[in-house]
Amino acid sequence: MNQQQAQLRTVNISRYVTPLREGGSLPAIVEADDDFLYVLKFRGAGQGVKALIAELIGGEIARKLGLRIPEIVFANLDAAFGRTEPDEEIQDLLQASVGLNLAVHYLSGAITFDPVLNVVNPLLASQIVWLDCLLTNVDRTARNTNMLMWHKELWLIDHGASLYFHHSWDNWKEQAQRPFVQVKEHVLLPYATELEAVNETFSQLLTPELIGSIVGLVPDEWLQDPSLTESAEERREVYAQFLTTRVQNSDIFVKEAQNARKLLI
C-alpha cells in the first residue's frame, strides 16, 4: 500500500459539454486543457465546497484502500468561462464557481450499477460497506447506488454526501464515535459477509499518517469560513482527527453493520 504523500493534478476547464441533470447540484461533463473529459463538481452548487471536500477525502481514501475510483483532479474555472451560456441557471452556477473546483475523470460508456443484474463478491461488498461506514456516506442505496460498471469492473463515484459531521461541526468528537445507522439502507449490505476481515485489514492500512496526507490535499481556500473561528489548518486537523477516531473505533460501526445485515437475511 503506497503511503507516500498524496497528490492531485490540476487542469483548466476549456469547454462545457453538457449538464448532468440527474444530480441535484447540476454537475456537468466538461473538457479540460489536457483533452480529457471530466465530471465537474461545482463549488457554487448545493453544499458548496463542503461537498468538494467530502468528494476529495472520500475518493482518495477509497483509492488508497485499493478500490476503483476515477482520477480526481483540481479544476480551474476562469471568470470568462460560460458568458455565452444561454441557460441562466447554468450561467449563474458557472459564475458562482469561478476558481478552484473538483472534477473526476469521465468513464465513457460506463453504466449504472444494478444490484439485480451485477454480482459483487462478498469481499468487495464488505470493503465498500466498511468504507461508507467510515465516511458516513448516506448515498449508496438501491435508489442511488453511486457505482458504475466500466469494462466489467465496479467503480465508485460521488462521495459528496459523506462526512456529514461538517455541516454541524461543533459535536464532531461525539459524531466520530457514533455507529452509522444509515448502513441499513446500503445497497451492498446483504452481500457484506467479510466485514470482520476487512475491518482488521483496513484499520491497519488507514494510519494517521495516511489520513493526514489525504486531508492535506484540501486547499486552504475551501477550509476558510468567516462564520467559524477556526483557521483553515485547525479545520483540516478536525477532519484528520475525526477520521482517525473513527478508524480507532471501527468496531462500533462494524457491529452496527453486522446487526443491520442480520435483519435483512
The runs of H, that is alpha helices, within the chain are 49-64, 88-96, 122-135, 172-176, 195-205, 208-215, 220-223, 232-248, 250-262
The runs of H, that is alpha helices, within 72-180 are 88-96, 122-135, 172-176
pTM score of the predicted model: 0.94
Instruction: Give pLDDT tens digits for 10-58.
Output: 999 999 999 886 655 679 999 999 999 999 999 999 889 999 999 999 9
Q: Contact at 8 Å (CB) between 62 and 70? A: no
> Tens-digit pLDDT profile for the chain (265 aa)?
334 456 899 999 999 999 886 655 679 999 999 999 999 999 999 889 999 999 999 999 999 999 999 999 999 999 988 777 788 888 889 999 999 999 999 999 999 999 999 999 999 999 999 999 999 999 999 999 999 999 999 999 999 999 999 988 889 999 999 999 999 999 999 999 999 999 999 999 999 999 999 999 999 999 998 877 889 999 999 999 999 999 999 999 999 999 999 998 7
Check residue 30 and report its DSSP letter.
E
